[in-house]
Amino acid sequence: MPARPRIKDVAEYAGVSPKTVSNVINNFEHVSERTRTAVQEAIDALGYRVNLAGRQLRRGRTGMITLAVPELDVAYFSELAKHVMSAADRRGITVLLHQTGGVRERELSALHGFDAQFTDGVVLSPLSLTPRDLATRDTRLPVVLLGERQAPGAVDHVGIDNVAAAREATEHLLARGRRTIAVIGGAVRGRQGTDRLRTMGYQDALRTAHIPFTPELVLPVEHYHWRDGARTTAAALDRQPRPDALLCLNDHLALGALRALHEAGLRAPDDMDVVGFDDIEAARFSVPSLTTVAPDKEAIANDAVSLLVDRIEQVDRPGADDAIDRVVSHRLAVRESTGGGLSAVISNRDD
């Protein structure tokens, strides 16, 4: 038995031709069940493994895809990257990570695949790309967008319903009797990015509850980092009207907000409720544990990789131009920062 069995070794063992072995490996239809069984038994007996690199080269592909995200030190993106890499690994695909910093030029370089010889497709979470950028891209390179759809109908997209998610989070705060809810990281003007959509969901909830919208309670941030949440919350405590709840548009902002409350001698939820977005792991371990909108990150990754692989396989086929918009589920994980039960992270139980 050779140290590394080849197709011809499997063919000799099964008593068939190498072409028949290849047909079985590639799951071609016109192979009898008896032959398929014999070949599979030979593969198992010899320990044969498909040479993925050779297969990709023969098909004119690299076997690699790019995941381009704004910042890997933002926990949401690092957790998402882990799921994307797992989903790709199950398909024998290698993932190249590219950090764009949200800079348009770097997002464009990812959108165009850097150099086509290095990657077969791109999963991209953009912050600065315009609809025109997407409309004029090289369509020969498959792309799947995460986050917000910048140009409906132009590119495949996977994400949660941000309007609905923010509305549900705001309704939770309203149900707890909160009426002066500040939005940390929100936006009421500009293009419809994640900040605008989540602010729209907040406004929808206020409107339904017949509570006047106060633009001064929508507080933009320069970055979505811990320090921005802390600084913006500290400033909000000096505002009139003073908030009785904070809807923070990611968990880093919310955790920074909790720190600012602590330094001001205040506590959530006794003095102020705090809600975040993204359900990063740190949200379970903060004190108090953080109520947050929890997107299904594993489903986002699986759907994105699946859509991209489909595009890679179908890129030269008719009908491949119909963009797909996949909406993934989310839930509100209610924890101590809005009066939820005692966190169970130490015993490793779910919420």
C-alpha span between 209 and 78 (Å, rounded): 37
- CATH number of domain containing 210: 3.40.50.2300
Give 210-229 as a DSSP string. Answer: T----GGGEE--SS-SHHHH
What is the pLDDT confidence band of residue 204, given thresholds at 50, 70 and 90?
very high
Residue 171 lies in a domain: yes
Residues 171 and 189 in one domain: yes
Residues 181 and 146 in one domain: no
Residues 28 and 68 in one domain: no
C-alpha span between 161 and 1 (Å, rounded): 55
* Domain interval for residue 222: 162-295+332-338
Residues 216 and 187 in one domain: yes
- CATH number of domain containing 17: 1.10.260.40
What is the pLDDT confidence band of residue 47, given thresholds at 50, 70 and 90?
confident
What is the total count of domains within the chain?
3
Residue 157 β-bridge partners: 145, 325
Can you give the length of the chain in residues?
351
Whether the predicted pLDDT of 5 surpasses 50: yes
Residues 208 and 259 in one domain: yes
Helix H or strand E encompassing 7: helix 7-14
pLDDT digits (tens, 9 = 90+) for 217-274: 999 999 999 999 999 999 999 988 899 999 999 999 999 999 999 999 999 999 999 9
Identify the weakest region by mean pLDDT among 10-14, 104-108, 313-317: 313-317
Residue 55 lies in a domain: no
pLDDT of residue 343: 54
* Residue written as token pair 């913006």: 232
Residues 176 and 116 in one domain: no
Residues 36 and 74 in one domain: no
Residue 2 lies in a domain: no
C-alpha span between 193 and 126 (Å, rounded): 10
C-alpha span between 124 and 40 (Å, rounded): 38
> Rounded to the nearest 5°, which phi and psi values hold at 141?
-100, 115
Residues 28 and 73 in one domain: no
CB count within 10 Å of CB 47 equals 9
Residue 325 lies in a domain: no
Residues 41 and 123 in one domain: no
pLDDT of residue 250: 97
Residue 152 lies in a domain: yes
What is the pLDDT confidence band of residue 137, given thresholds at 50, 70 and 90?
confident
Residue 264 lies in a domain: yes
- How much is the average pLDDT of 68-85? 95
Question: What is the separation of C-alpha 261 from the centre of its chain, rounded to a whole number of angstroms?
Answer: 30
pLDDT of residue 1: 52
Residues 241 and 256 in one domain: yes
Distances in whole angstroms, Cα of residue 312 to Cα of each of 63, 112, 122, 263, 309: 10, 15, 10, 52, 5
Residues 44 and 124 in one domain: no
Residue 277 lies in a domain: yes
Residues 179 and 221 in one domain: yes
What is the pLDDT confidence band of residue 318, given thresholds at 50, 70 and 90?
very low
**Helix 7-14 with 18-25: angle, nearest 10 deg:** 100
pLDDT of residue 22: 82
Residue 343 lies in a domain: no
C-alpha span between 131 and 64 (Å, rounded): 26
